[in-house]
């Protein structure tokens, strides 16, 4: 089975331009929970292009993003060049189950929209190893797509159903194993590695136009399978979705509402 990082080959720029930035209140919540306004070390696993990493730049002494995809990491480094907190942020090649960091060194470990790509047992064991006693782990994901227009969401659901059907019926090879997001919290609880676990729901408003919407849709498994010829845009109805985005969003940015599910574990 191929490495899951294969899904992002050639997608880093589009991913960075279209994916949302985590809500800043998440930083406030996590630092308050562990009574540490300014963490000494924050580790962001599967950090991608660094959108979930740089939010800690002004709030932590040191931030390390760990990412296996060379394309995504290069994009993160390019964006870091102009960031005011660049001196406190570093990116490393690696995987979540084997970070190479010192035991008990991290105050905070996060994983944004990526924990479902990771072997939960090995990854949780590594997180528990690098977290200090009383530190916090947060695995968080946003709903897909964001709430914009119900009519657009309805058409997306139809396209997505055709996409999933094409993948199943053609026995298409996935870019790596995936684990259900709905089971993240239960796996954390069952691991016995955390003294306390809970789940929060947060919301974030961003703005986007029709082009960003289609870029967001394609910054996923869609592009991976389209490139491999598993299906065509026409047969799953992407052109219809593209026209609907123009009709319901247009060329000027309008509000998009992202809902985040945050699974929290205190070490």
13-41: per-residue pLDDT in tens? 999 999 999 999 999 999 999 999 999 99
Rounding to the nearest 10 degrees, give the CA dihedral for residues 57, 262, 68, 267. Answer: 80
Domain residue ranges in the chain: 4-147+177-207+255-266
Structure tokens at 161: 């159903």
Q: Does 74 score more than 80 pLDDT?
A: yes
CB atoms within 10 A of CB 84: 9
Architecture, CATH, for domain 4-147+177-207+255-266: 3-Layer(aba) Sandwich (3.40)
Q: Looking at residues 164-181, what average pLDDT do you find?
A: 86
What tens digit of pLDDT does each residue of 230-255 get?
999 999 999 999 999 999 999 999 99
Structure tokens at 109: 């470990």
* pLDDT at residue number 170: 86
Sheet holding 106-112, edge to edge: 89-93, 63-67, 42-45, 106-112, 131-142, 254-266, 196-208
Q: Looking at residues 171-175, what average pLDDT do you find?
A: 76
DSSP structural state of residue 102 = P
- pTM beyond 0.85: the answer is yes
């Amino acid at each position: 089975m191929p490495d899951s990082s294969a899904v992002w080959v050639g997608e880093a720029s589009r991913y960075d331009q279209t994916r949302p930035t985590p809500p800043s209140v998440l930083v406030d919540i996590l630092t308050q929970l562990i009574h540490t306004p300014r963490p000494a070390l924050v580790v962001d696993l599967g950090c991608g292009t660094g959108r979930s990493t740089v939010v800690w730049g002004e709030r932590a002494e040191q931030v390390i993003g760990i990412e296996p995809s060379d394309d995504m990491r290069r994009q993160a480094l390019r964006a870091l060049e102009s960031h005011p907190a660049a001196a406190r942020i570093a990116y490393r090649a690696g995987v979540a189950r084997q970070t190479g960091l010192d035991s008990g060194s991290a105050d905070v470990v996060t994983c944004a929209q990526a924990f479902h790509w990771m072997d939960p047992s090995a990854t949780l064991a590594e997180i528990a190893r690098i977290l200090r006693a009383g530190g916090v782990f947060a695995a968080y994901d946003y709903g897909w797509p964001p709430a914009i227009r119900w009519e657009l969401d309805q058409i997306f659901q139809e396209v997505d159903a055709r996409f999933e059907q094409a993948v199943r019926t053609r026995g298409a090879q996935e870019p790596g194993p995936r684990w259900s997001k709905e089971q993240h919290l239960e796996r954390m609880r069952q691991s016995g590695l955390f003294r306390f676990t809970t789940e929060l729901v947060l919301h974030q408003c961003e703005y986007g136009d029709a082009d960003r919407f289609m870029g967001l849709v394609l910054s996923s498994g869609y592009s991976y399978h389209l490139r491999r010829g598993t299906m065509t845009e026409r047969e799953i109805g992407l052109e219809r979705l593209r026209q609907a985005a123009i009709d319901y969003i247009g060329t000027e940015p309008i509000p998009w509402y992202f809902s985040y599910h945050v699974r929290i574990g205190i070490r």
